[in-house]
Amino acid sequence: GNSVTQMEGPVTLSEEAFLTINCTYTATGYPSLFWYVQYPGEGLQLLLKATKADDKGSNKGFEATYRKETTSFHLEKGSVQVSDSAVYFCALKGRGSGAGSYQLTFGKGTKLSVIP
Amino acid sequence: NAGVTQTPKFQVLKTGQSMTLQCAQDMNHEYMSWYRQDPGMGLRLIHYSVGAGITDQGEVPNGYNVSRSTTEDFPLRLLSAAPSQTSVYFCASRRGNGDEQFFGPGTRLTVL
């Protein structure tokens, strides 16, 4: 079955530091890949996505590249801010028309804290 | 456009009590789902629905029931609450097999 493994936190960084959160996946075929963000006390929001190999998703200064050869989708940001403090989830969605293609498979989440 | 709404935001139950968590969306999305979020476990799928009248089980369905009588609503029923069901519950919806999934704000449930 499908699975997502992401680095466990918590991660604590100083403002303006470089961020990488690793994410690797196992899936049949070519899934769509996502990063979701959860701010304190809120539901999850889509941060960025990539639907095919070598695609780069980007939003709010965050980037992730779909690497089929390494089955990875690492999240990066060049200069984090205090407002980026949140929990980040890597996720995948399979392709096809079966029930499995409707389901998102999530990693366990990585909590990021950015200190001034 | 309210998106995905959930009620209540907080709930405390005693073991054995039953209750229904409400979820509604106003985006005419076919696909709706329920997740539970537990520390260190990420989000786990409880039940999902691909349209009115169609539901199916996810990864952790035991102790929960769902029904989908309308496109807009997808309630989650706890039949006899247990302390192991203490969790944060999220409802989500998506347009058919479209990529972006929209989440509600969550219901924090405590079972004593």
* pLDDT over 70 percentage in chain B: 98
**Closest CB from A44, A102, A108 relative to B41:** A108
pLDDT at B38: 92
Asked if A77 and A19 touch (Cβ cutoff 8 Å), the reply is yes
Q: What single string gives the DSSP state of each residue in B26-66?
A: SS--SEEEEEEEETTTEEEEEEEEEETTEEEE-SS-TTEEE
Tell me if chain A has a CB within 8 Å of the CB of B89: no
**What is the model's pLDDT at position B39?**
85
Which residues from B are below 8 Å from A49, CB to CB?
A: 99-100
Lowest mean pLDDT among A6-15, A88-97, B6-15, B52-61: A88-97
pLDDT above 90 as % of chain A: 75
The minimum CA-CA distance between A57 and chain B, rounded to whole Å, is: 13
What is the distance between the alpha carbons of residues B53 and B17, in angstroms, rounded to a whole number?
26
B106/A43 CB distance under 8 A:
yes
Mean pLDDT of chain A: 92
pLDDT score of B98: 66
Name the residue among B42, B45, B105 with its Cβ closest to that of A43: B105
pLDDT of B62-77, one tens digit each?
Answer: 999 999 999 999 999 9
